[in-house]
């Protein structure tokens, strides 16, 4: 089999070479690229002749998938697969496997950091001090005793809830299915409207698909408390970000901590959240830590080994 890693996955070359040796010892060909490209023509050249490709979070379009008649499996070094042309994979019978679980802890920890920053005015305090100011008027609020609403109680949402509970928060959640583990933890399931209206902190953890695109629209944003902190470390297009910016600028929402957008950074200068009030913006980094990148590499290669052995794992429904 010809197996190719088409872009970097955030680990040292020595780590890739270790996995590569195992593949070559099994009799397979392995090639990897240490630069990112989003050019479909270049991706097609890199992919040519592959039985298996490994990608991260950059688009893998239909034209590239259809250009490789040998392609049988895609191992995605990411949780979401919305950047892969799933229809083309379904048409050709190509299996997609993801790296589910690698970033649960890492994402959840950034959400907590954002919540603390939003409630305790850390960004504002830093700016104020540098301008010669003091702590006057920026003491903020604690997480303990506040109500946290988790929208989407999958693995990352559940991990985030655990950390908020450790801070002494009350956690309520909205999700399509109920988790016995969540209920044992004391998490209360509510309607979406109740979660939005009752929460001091709202953290979004839905996948991006046809049903969730634009899910948090202007009407739903309007249900949140005027002093609520909204956090999105899931997917940008789930939120109407223009409506979110409007709510912040008009004082209808307290604070927003955003890691994901309608496109990958760098963002255009006129992107609405860049000029919105009371925001903490990060450049899609929630999934990145030293530990999570090593976990991701292990999973994405293990997916390939499992597929080669006829025992595929982390198979995505497409």
Residue 130 a catalytic site member: no
C-alpha angle 95/27/291, rounded to 5°?
A: 60
Residue 46 a catalytic site member: no
Residue 284 a catalytic site member: yes
Residue whose token pair is 């697969």: 81
Please identify which of the residues 28, 123, 252, 284 carries the catalytic annotation.
Answer: 284
Please identify which of the residues 29, 62, 194, 264 carries the catalytic annotation.
Answer: 264
Q: What is the token pair recorded at 19?
A: 């996995």
SS (H, E, C) the chain: CEEEECCCCCCCHHHHHHHHHHHHHCCCEEEECCCCCCCHHHHHHHHCCCCEEEECCCCECHHHHHHCCCCCEEEECCCCCCCECHHHHHHHCCEEECCCCCCHHHHHHHHHHHHHHHHHCHHHHHHHHHCCCCCCCCCCCCCCCCEEEEECCCHHHHHHHHHHHHCCCEEEEECCCCCHHHHHCCCEECCHHHHHHHCCEEEECCCCCCCCCCCECHHHHCCCCCCCEEEECCCHHHECHHHHHHHHHCCCCCEEEECCCCCCCCCCCCCHHHHCCCEEECCCCCCCCHHHHHHHHHHHHHHHHHHHCCCCCCECCC
Please identify which of the residues 46, 83, 205, 235 carries the catalytic annotation.
Answer: 235
Which sequence positions are flagged as catalytic? 235, 264, 284
């Amino acid at each position: 089999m010809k197996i190719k890693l088409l872009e970097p996955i955030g680990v040292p070359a020595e780590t890739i070479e270790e996995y590569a040796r195992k593949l070559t010892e099994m009799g397979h060909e392995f090639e990897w690229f240490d630069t990112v490209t989003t050019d479909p023509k270049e991706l097609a050249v890199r992919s040519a002749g592959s039985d298996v490709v490994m990608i991260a979070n950059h688009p893998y379009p239909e034209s590239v998938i259809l250009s490789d008649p040998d392609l049988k499996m895609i191992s995605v070094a990411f949780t979401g697969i919305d950047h892969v042309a799933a229809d083309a994979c379904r048409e050709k019978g190509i299996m997609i496997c993801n790296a589910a679980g690698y970033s649960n802890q890492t994402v959840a920890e950034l959400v907590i950091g954002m919540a603390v920053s939003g409630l305790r005015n850390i960004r504002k305090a830093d700016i104020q001090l540098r301008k010669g100011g003091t702590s006057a008027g920026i003491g903020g609020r604690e997480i303990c005793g506040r109500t946290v609403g988790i929208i989407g109680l999958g693995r990352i949402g559940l991990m985030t809830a655990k950390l908020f509970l450790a801070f002494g928060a009350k956690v309520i959640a909205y999700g399509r299915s109920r988790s016995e583990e969540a209920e044992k933890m004391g998490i209360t399931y509510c309607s979406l409207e109740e979660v939005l209206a009752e929460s001091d902190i709202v953290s979004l953890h839905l996948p991006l698909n046809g049903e969730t695109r634009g899910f948090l629209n202007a009407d739903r944003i309007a249900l949140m408390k005027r002093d609520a902190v909204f956090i999105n470390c899931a997917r940008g297009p789930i939120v109407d970000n223009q409506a979110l910016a409007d709510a912040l600028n008009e004082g209808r929402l307290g604070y927003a901590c955003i890691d994901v957008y309608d496109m990958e950074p760098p963002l255009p200068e006129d992107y609405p959240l860049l000029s919105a009030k009371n925001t903490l913006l990060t450049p899609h980094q929630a999934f990145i830590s030293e530990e999570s990148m090593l976990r991701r590499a292990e999973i994405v290669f293990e997916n390939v080994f499992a597929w080669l052995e006829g025992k595929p794992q982390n198979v995505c429904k497409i």
